[in-house]
């Protein structure tokens, strides 16, 4: 039976826990906060109905979770270790060094970092630094299948291959990033859209609700199936991407975008916060989480029918 060690049990760490439990894994968690076990239990209780609807492994059970009182005890006997401490490089380096010293040298250590490069994360690891990689998931981790895998200078191809197999066993879809770069792939794309959205609010072009509507009722409906490039390939008609670039490519030179983020003035912060509170309409974050999860479960049930393997296209992402 596979065992996952989870170090740090915030939203992302708890998401890993819920996913692993749903796949029938044993999970041992460590978090220095004495309130962590109760917080994790509440998280799992909220997520379990969605996981049940999506489909549980035969041995799946919330009872397979235990908490350890030290990192050393948590990683002992683990088949995979996932670090999820706050996004501060010195802290991550310290914790990863402690994990590396305590864990068997052949065990992969994945960091959930959304921005740091694995070579930087490996700096203080002495025993087997190459097995420390980026394994960046997306919230909610227990439902969204993408995990970006990035190796550092000390990482060998066999270690990335091992990580791919482990995350696939957690019903995830590993995306191996060809070279390390801050923000990896998906966050760089999301940040570009986020910067543009902030400019539109700051310049008085649109409210937060109107910008979200532009995504929800437009481009966002296509992205779950085709993403950016295949969507534009279809925009070129029968000739495809080449015609699309010939027709619309010149527009890329027009000053439509502002890639640098606007200054976060108090006025802009107030606009964004007030806009989001208007959209929430008095609903709690927990209520919105439940609504999001219900939507994602139904959406996943649809899009999985159209993923490459459903068409017999094996070995595709």
Interval 60-90: pLDDT, tens: 999 999 999 999 999 999 999 999 999 999 9
Q: What's residue 244's pLDDT?
A: 81
Q: Is 81 one of the annotated binding-site residues?
A: no
> What is residue 285's predicted lDDT score, i.e. its pLDDT?
86
| CB within 8 Å of 163: residues ≥ 6 apart | 108, 110, 133, 135, 149, 174
Taking phi over 0 as left and psi of -120 to 50 as alpha, with beta for the rest, 10 belongs to beta
Q: How far apart are CA 100 and CA 128, in angstroms?
A: 7
Q: Which CATH entry fits the domain spanning 185-282: 3.40.50.720, 1.10.1040.10, 3.60.15.10, 1.10.260.40?
A: 1.10.1040.10
Q: What is the DSSP letter of 236?
A: T
Give the model's pLDDT for residue 76.
Answer: 98
**Ligand-binding site membership of 216 (annotated):** no
To the question of whether residue 13 is assigned a binding role by annotation, the answer is yes
Q: Which residues of the chain have pLDDT under 50?
A: none
Give the pLDDT of residue 251. 80
| Paired sense of beta strands 26-30 and 65-67, if any | parallel
Identify the pLDDT of residue 226.
83
Same fold: 3-177 with 185-282: no
Annotated ligand binding at 8? The verdict is: yes
Phi and psi at 121, nearest 5°, equal -65, -30
12 is in an annotated binding site: yes
Predicted structure pTM score: 0.91
CATH 3.40.50.720 is held by the domain 3-177: yes
Rounded distance between C-alpha atoms, residue 56 and residue 50, angstroms: 10
Each domain of the chain, given as residue ranges in start order, spans: 3-177, 185-282
């Amino acid at each position: 039976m596979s065992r996952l060690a989870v170090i740090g049990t915030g939203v992302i760490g708890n998401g890993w826990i819920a996913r692993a439990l749903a796949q029938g894994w044993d999970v041992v968690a460590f978090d220095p906060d004495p309130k962590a076990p109760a917080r994790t239990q509440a998280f799992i209780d909220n997520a379990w109905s969605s996981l049940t609807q999506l489909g549980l492994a035969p041995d799946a059970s919330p009872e397979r979770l235990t908490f350890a009182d030290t990192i050393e005890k948590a990683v002992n006997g683990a088949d995979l270790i996932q670090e999820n401490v706050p996004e501060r490089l010195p802290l991550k380096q310290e914790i990863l060094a402690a994990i590396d010293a305590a864990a068997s040298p052949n065990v992969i250590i994945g960091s959930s970092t959304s921005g740091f490069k694995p070579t930087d994360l490996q700096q203080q690891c002495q025993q087997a630094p190459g097995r420390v990689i980026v394994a960046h998931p997306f919230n909610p981790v227990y439902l969204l299948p993408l995990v970006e895998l990035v190796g550092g200078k000390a990482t060998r191809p066999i270690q990335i291959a091992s990580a791919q197999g482990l995350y696939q066993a957690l019903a995830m879809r590993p995306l191996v990033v060809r070279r390390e770069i801050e923000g990896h792939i998906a966050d760089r794309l999301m940040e570009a859209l986020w910067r543009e959205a902030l400019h539109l609010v700051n310049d008085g072009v649109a409210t937060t609700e109107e910008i979200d509507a532009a995504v929800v009722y437009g481009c966002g409906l296509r992205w779950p199936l085709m993403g950016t490039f295949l969507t534009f390939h279809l925009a070129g008609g029968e000739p495809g991407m080449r015609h699309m670039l010939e027709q619309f490519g010149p527009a890329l030179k027009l000053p439509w975008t502002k890639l640098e983020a606007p200054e976060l003035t108090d006025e802009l912060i107030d606009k964004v916060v007030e806009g989001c509170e208007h959209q929430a309409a008095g609903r709690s974050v927990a209520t919105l989480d439940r609504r999001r999860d219900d939507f994602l479960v139904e959406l996943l049930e649809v899009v999985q029918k159209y993923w490459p393997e459903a068409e017999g296209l094996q070995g595709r992402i």
